Structure 1
Amino acid sequence: MVTSILKRNNVNILGNGSQTIIFAHGFGTDQTAWRHQIAPFASDFQIVLFDHVGAGKSDFSAYSPHRYSTLYSYAEDLLDLCDELKLTKTILVGHSVSGMVSLLAALVEPQCFNKLIFVGASPRYLNDDGYVGGFEQSDLDAIYAAMSANYYAWASGFATLAMDNPDKPELAIEFANSLSAIRPDIAQAVARVIFQSDHRKELPRLNVPTVILQSNNDIAVPLEVGQYMAQNIPQSQLIQINAQGHFPHLSAPDVVTNAIASCLAA
């Protein structure tokens, strides 16, 4: 069972230390997105990296649109990983969708986590009465249509918008390549699951201390979302970081690394 879970999620364990940091990637990327954060923490922490099913070098045969029709299944995978590696009181750093995945996991098995650190996370991407999520349903329908019509063209255009670092075009190319490596049918299904999700009601139930790192001009997660989470998660802190776009751990790695280090020192 251990072997199958490690293979399913392409788990890699690095570093030294009695405390563990789990780095969880967002949609369209894989564990390599955290490469800049490994060296600064590897000497003091055990680091666990993994790929969500359907991404990176995960076992694609484990993916089914039925099983992964909600974020709860990804949370189950995360708890499987913690159980097999006997991990408790970990620090979970989750980018984008992995923020809510870790929140759902922490509601079920809070002892697995000592602290959650969200990077560009959102409980709901759709605007609602009194809530700014960033997208109208028509915006999302246009995304799905573009993905369906020409996935690789969509990936190239979306990567540029999401990265939002025009002075570093290589980063947008990297993200476009990462998106293009995903099977288009999986990418489209996962995108719908993420963008149509709504986990606002779960926020007040979270009892694990949480830090929300918010970058500037994030196409997927406006500042209002970070503020909303900080107001609704009991033990939470919002930290605005000097970084641009949805992937600050890639575009401003030192800023994110220093923010994580400050959270851990606190």
Structure 2
Amino acid sequence: MSALSRHNVRQAGQGQPLLFAHGYGCDQSVWRFMAPAFETTHRVVLMDLAGCGTAAPDAYDQERHATLHGHAQDIISVCESAQLEGTVLVAHSVSTMSAVLAARTRPDLFSALVMLAPSPSYLNHEGYQGGFERQDIDDLLHILEANHFKWARMMAPVVMGSENNPALSEELATHFCRMEASVAKHFAQVTFLSDHREDLDGLSIPTLVMQCTRDTLAPASVGQYLQSRWPQVQLAKLEATGHCPHMSAPQEATEVLRAFLEAQAHELVESTA
């Protein structure tokens, strides 16, 4: 099976590729409020991560995906199969670090990274506030192991963080519930226990970070860390609250992304003039 079939890849439009990679437990449908706005100017490419949505049931392998390197390789495989060049990789949440790993492995494939609500580590470390102590994560994983559906209903409102739109929290919970239980647990362990702070070193690709207000999973301290550790990062602080601006505030996220793409195109024209 090709990578395009394995990850249920859908494409629309022409021009520079924009590859959208969703966050934990979701699927490509979460980009429906944002991605179509770029179909007149870009080649929009959507994929489902292994273990999520309508990706092939056997796409998720607990050995291959024991780290985010497995998902990074999946992204690379999609780029190769779709023959994408100069791709802007737009990633949300856990996929932002998969994007970093993909760009480090194959810098020739990507021209820029766009990260929505990224975090290189959800755990607190000395000199770094990721937002969670190890016991916090262990407790969350224990609930997930005991009752996948209870965990989904509990976590979705926390992740969405949009009190004025309970329908979005319900949609997110439904996505979580659709995951096969063993995949949900394993992917959550990989997500919450990974630490990719060192993978930021030496990465010079133009990068936009969109950081939300009152994001429980990626607090303001994470954005400050990224900007101090990664000087070429452009940090855009959104008015949107929660962890999913592409769903809760798609117009704001779209405008910020469009401005970034236009600036990148302008710099390319100037550099080749």
TM class, shorter-length? over 0.9
**TM-aligned CA deviation for residue 145 of structure 1:** 0.8
Aligned residue-pair number? 263
Instruction: Give the Cα–Cα distance (whole angstroms) in 2 for the partners of residues 135 and 120 of structure 1.
Output: 15
What are the superposed Cα offsets for residues 129-171 of structure 1, whole Å, 9 maximum, x if unpaired? Answer: 0100000000001101111111101101100111111110000
1:101-112 aligned within 5 A? 101-112=98-109
Aligned with residue 244 of structure 1, among 236, 241, 245: 241
Which amino acid letter does the alignment assign opposite residue 188 of structure 1? K
- Unaligned 5+ segments in structure 1 are none
The ranges of structure 1 where at least 4 consecutive aligned residues each deviate by more than 6 angstroms after the TM superposition are none
Conserved 8 A contact 1:110-1:207: no
- Unaligned 5+ segments in structure 2 are 264-273
Aligned residue for 2:33, secondary structure, equals helix
Instruction: Give the Cα–Cα distance (whole angstroms) in 1 for the partners of residues 116 and 35 of structure 2.
Output: 16
TM-score (norm 1): 0.97
Aligned with residue 154 of structure 2, among 154, 157, 175: 157
Conserved 8 A contact 1:20-1:47: yes
**Alignment partner, residue 266 of structure 2:** none
**Alignment partner, residue 119 of structure 1:** 116
1:58 matches 2:85: no
Which amino acid letter does the alignment assign opposite residue 185 of structure 1? S
What are the superposed Cα offsets for residues 76-125 of structure 1, whole Å, 9 maximum, x if unpaired? Answer: 11111111122121111100011111110101111111110100111111
What are the superposed Cα offsets for residues 5-37 of structure 1, whole Å, 9 maximum, x if unpaired? Answer: 111111111122x21101110002111010011
Instruction: Give the Cα–Cα distance (whole angstroms) in 2 for the partners of residues 205 and 30 of structure 1.
Output: 31
Instruction: Give the Cα–Cα distance (whole angstroms) in 1 for the partners of residues 170 and 50 of structure 2.
Output: 23
**Alignment partner, residue 10 of structure 1:** 8
TM-score (norm 2): 0.94
Q: CA RMSD in A?
A: 0.9
Determine what percentage of the aligned residue pairs are the same residue: 39
**Alignment partner, residue 98 of structure 1:** 95
